[in-house]
Amino acid sequence: MILCDERFMARAIQLARQAEPQSVSPNPHVGAVLVYDEDPNDVRIIGEGYHKKRGEGHAEVECLRSVRDEDKFLIQHATMYVTLEPCAHVGRTPSCASMLVERGVPRVVVGTTDPNPLVAGKGIDILRSNGIQVLVGCLSLECREVARVFMTNQERHRPFITLKWAQSQDGYMDRQRTEGSPIIFSSPFSAMLVHRERSRHSAILVGARTILLDRARLSNRLWTGNNPAPFVLDPRGESFDVLATYDDAKRWTVVTTKATMDAVDHHTFKVLAVDREEEMLDGLMTHLMKDEKTSLLVEGGSYTLSSFISAGLWDEARIEKAPFDLFEEGIKAPDLSSARKVDSHTIDGRVIDLYRRFSER
């Protein structure tokens, strides 16, 4: 009887996390471990791998490739632990399920099934129909977590959405202003971590007020990796003149209405125009998925963030609380009191709270 040894699946999950999010996107994070376990006195890992980059070898391929020549004869006496069901279709790479059959792997432990309609149980069927023992569900929640962006894309047909903002201890994001610099809530180190978070997302969005008042550039200049594609939610065209001054305006996409765009003679930025303001968020979701933007970071301001919360369009929220109060009637931060806090830690005196939302949308 094939058993789930959680130690080896935990290692596969650890491997899956090593991939850079934007390197594998739109594919999932997947890790695999090959364990020789026929001799109870000599149980050992003989191969490890994870999916590193879109278009390159999947985790199972990399795992088998890593087996040393002197251990290759053990492949036919080993168990593969893989965080996600092996793929059944031929795309940029061959079918992993068929490859495992060809290589003679006798047992496979799968963390979770693949919701992609091209796979969705077909990989497991290929394995079982060829006599391979398969166990499904070993550390399934943890395996879904490591592939949460992909799971959201497939099951909710939209990007994985992270909300991010900073606020004072008494719950204000900014003072009321029409000009001038914003209040700095972050320390230099926590600001760098924000840029790391940007580098992990394929798109980033703010509202028109953030462009107007802060001249936001939305880059991850304090961290390595590609900049996320910048979007502005702007139904009335308030940000157009500022965006026109940006030297990288062609990278930006403004989400607005067709009526607003009809009044514009010329623009250098890209436009996503919908019939009505109420359709902007749904139109954005469709556009992002079509363009393989699998994750979206929403940075504000308060009205924009609240719009996503009200629409139920968020999965994770990262809130940074500075160690001071504003003691004034400023701009209140959105309310997430009914959401589930899953983590809280302190960096440079700033409390970073992480919230998760679990829903059907």
The answer on whether 34 is annotated among ligand-binding residues is no
The answer on whether 6 is annotated among ligand-binding residues is no
**Among the options 48, 60, 316, 320, which is catalytic?**
60
- Give yes or no for a contact between 29 and 150, defined as CB atoms under 8 angstroms apart: yes
In 3D, which of 149, 272, 144, 268 has the Cα closest to residue 202?
149
Strand order in the sheet with 316-321: 270-274, 253-257, 229-233, 203-207, 295-300, 160-167, 316-321, 350-356, 340-347
Q: What are phi and psi of 297, to 5 degrees?
A: -105, 120
Specify the amino acid at residue 7.
Answer: R
The answer on whether 166 is annotated among ligand-binding residues is yes
The answer on whether 287 is annotated among ligand-binding residues is no
The answer on whether 303 is annotated among ligand-binding residues is yes
The answer on whether 63 is annotated among ligand-binding residues is no
The answer on whether 171 is annotated among ligand-binding residues is no
The answer on whether 355 is annotated among ligand-binding residues is no
The answer on whether 275 is annotated among ligand-binding residues is no
60 annotated active-site: yes
Nearest 5 degrees, angle CA 204-CA 209-CA 210? 45
Structure tokens belonging to residue 326: 């504003």
Q: How far is CA 61 from the centre of its chain?
A: 23
The answer on whether 305 is annotated among ligand-binding residues is yes
Q: Where is the binding site for Zn(2+), in residues?
A: 58, 87, 96
Q: Where is the binding site for substrate, in residues?
A: 198, 218, 299
Q: Where is the binding site for NADP(+), in residues?
A: 166, 210, 214, 221, 301-307
- Active centre residues (catalytic): 60
